[in-house]
Structure 1
């Protein structure tokens, strides 16, 4: 494992921890200020543009990381082409969003004022371009800029949230404005970093027809998988809104946001792993790197899950208040799937980096269908607990299938992917001994 990989992973992990703290503070402010119902309304409002972006980005971001890593096209041409793609796709997203709000808001966004939904659609161009620009820094492995941008967006949103909620006291509208300010801040700083770090700007370079074709050809396979994964992540929110009410969305959303913090390590490592795998031709090294990461991520996720289980009641009572007591039970139901899915994230990025995104797609098709069926069956019967059970089961299924596919693709033994090896334990002992000696 190279020093640069470790350095970039630690840098990304540090940003993830900082981001979690900022995100958690924002979640607490929103949850306590608006209550379960208001919190649910906010989540449904911001879910509309993020869903459209996920459904309609066509894998351009994933392709950008892959082709930047391969050095097939100039970075300035990729940026220019991504800009054109982003503008066109965001305009399509706005049109589709308006249609959805006009004809289906009562079904999927019950209780949400339509004005909020129309207004939030206006940030689609910046949201899409932020996605297409951020991955450029990931592709060139400039993780300092990559992490700074993600963190600045959260920081700007949090500062704005404090202003609008506590000082101006404008409630739900304030949360939506704060979200928008975060998106605008990320876009502005991205343009600055293009000039400072990459020595380019939006006017430089040319729109590349070849890259455009390649990005959509490669990206579509990854995109379909990402869309299915997103549906797997968020179908439960829409279905809870359809069968229950915004307050239930608020209770469930808080539980999910806390449970997904267990992915902090896998998210950090997978962000660094993808461009590394994409740019490497040494199959043995790639296999070894991913297997080491997979089993260690699983080990630490299990430890973290045990801690979450026993402290969840205290966490929700102290941070969110008695109104969110039910969220603690939901978190406990989510934990098995969340823990196992940390491995899925690692293997998915490895397979995508090898140019095999279709394997992720096949897995996602099965798990999404299973998730939706389970949600339709369980939510009407047992409420938000049904959504939690559905999610946990399908996350677990996805991970098991992904491990089997990865083994068939690479030949790496199952034990090396999920069980700690002697060298891991020896490394842990070495690190502990060093820490003790320093004291």
Structure 2
């Protein structure tokens, strides 16, 4: 079997484990905890997930860059990572605690707040250090970092919620297990104990932060667009409405795994290309394929939404059907951003994403303040779809100008678009 087919198989298996583990975990929490309990969990999770973006500081990307280029010795990079990690863990903990405790309805229970904060140091440690695998082009190890935590979370969810009946507490405990295991594994496997030193190399730290901060701020704006509805539902509505919204939106997010898998196929021979225009044309090809597949999957979800929601989550989540239906058009259109941003972020231009995402974030927040009091979760879904469409079309405009390829050229379908997929199918048949 060729190395390409092996890599494709690993990525495919990794994505399958991530998606199936996430869906099964979501079903268990829905069936055993109900809409209100799931709303509490979603409200508690939103700030830690945002601060994972801020706290990560783009260190994974800068670690991969400096290690891959050989600009600094691996030991110095590891030491810098541990020192940055200790500082960001404390800052993320403190700021996140204040926001959750005093600005969120879900933060009334101090015990739950502390439990939801516990994964932060382990998640940050894993995120920072996964950049080492990328820098060494160790895709197999990097994939394990992605799929092992959700699989462990599923296993612990079964124990804490189904067997021990710990409800919300059990769900929060289950989320800690995956990153905790990976952090300890990396600590010993990558020999990080030696990296904990008092000697500070400001040159390395400054270099890593200066490159990473741009990525981090860009990711923050992007993720705020995805999480604004959760924050505002938590503030302006009830735990029930937030729980209903969380289950409807969870299903749509797995559609964006399709471009991640397809990128392995489409970029197989061009990822290292020095011809920027040629690479951008490959990205456009990936977009067109993704449009067809995500559009088809979204249409299927729309038509079968009643059956899917009730079968997975139960009758108590019937209101999630409308949330799912309202979100799907926005998810399809936002595929433009999801795919095209792979190109510009990879070329070290993450600020272009901010130019598109910041205006749509403002629109998202304003619309949510208007729609949530009247229409609850369904209203928030409408706001998200509107902001997603604005963000995607704005980004397409900026992307077209940046890569100097007309929008019509980017979106025009070609017979050759599916050639890479047919090529892989033929390779598999010949095995």
TM-score (norm 1): 0.88
* Alignment correspondent of 1:409: 402
Shift of 1:67: 3.1
Shift of 1:112: 4.7
1:275-323 per-position Cα deviation (integer Å, ceiling 9, x unaligned): 9999653324422322221221122111111111112111111111111
Q: Equivalents in 2 of 1:276, 1:80: separation in Å?
A: 35
SS at match of 2:116: helix
Matches within 5 A, 1:165-244: 165-194=161-190, 200-203=191-194, 208-244=201-237
Q: Equivalents in 2 of 1:335, 1:149: separation in Å?
A: 29
On the 8 A contact 2:55/2:124 being kept in 1, the answer is: no
Shift of 1:376: 1.1
* Alignment correspondent of 1:394: 387
Shift of 1:242: 1.1
Closer/same/farther in 2, CA of residues 118 and 141 from structure 1, 3 Å limit: same
Q: Which of 250, 268, 276 does residue 257 from structure 1 map onto? A: 250
Once the two structures are overlaid, the 10-residue window that deviates more, 382-391 or 60-69, is 60-69
On the 8 A contact 1:111/1:246 being kept in 2, the answer is: no
1:210-244 per-position Cα deviation (integer Å, ceiling 9, x unaligned): 33222222222221111011110111011111111
1:57-110 per-position Cα deviation (integer Å, ceiling 9, x unaligned): 322223223334433333343232112111101101112233234432xxx234
On the 8 A contact 2:115/2:173 being kept in 1, the answer is: no
**Root-mean-square deviation over aligned CA pairs:** 2.9
* Alignment correspondent of 1:197: none
Q: Equivalents in 2 of 1:360, 1:290: separation in Å?
A: 16
Closer/same/farther in 2, CA of residues 71 and 407 from structure 1, 3 Å limit: farther
* Alignment correspondent of 1:24: 23
On the 8 A contact 1:277/1:354 being kept in 2, the answer is: no
Once the two structures are overlaid, the 10-residue window that deviates more, 25-34 or 40-49, is 40-49
SS at match of 2:344: helix
Shift of 1:260: 0.9
1:385-409 per-position Cα deviation (integer Å, ceiling 9, x unaligned): 1211111111111111222112111
Closer/same/farther in 2, CA of residues 273 and 115 from structure 1, 3 Å limit: farther
* Alignment correspondent of 2:144: 148
SS at match of 2:39: helix
Closer/same/farther in 2, CA of residues 94 and 428 from structure 1, 3 Å limit: closer
Structure 2 residues not aligned, in runs of 5+: none
Structure 1 residues not aligned, in runs of 5+: 195-199
On the 8 A contact 2:119/2:175 being kept in 1, the answer is: no
Closer/same/farther in 2, CA of residues 181 and 273 from structure 1, 3 Å limit: farther
On the 8 A contact 2:101/2:108 being kept in 1, the answer is: no
Q: Equivalents in 1 of 2:195, 2:90: separation in Å?
A: 23
On the 8 A contact 2:43/2:106 being kept in 1, the answer is: no
Once the two structures are overlaid, the 10-residue window that deviates more, 36-45 or 94-103, is 94-103
* Alignment correspondent of 2:361: 368
* Alignment correspondent of 1:52: 51
Matches within 5 A, 1:27-426: 27-104=26-103, 108-110=104-106, 112-194=108-190, 200-203=191-194, 208-268=201-261, 281-425=274-418
Shift of 1:324: 0.8
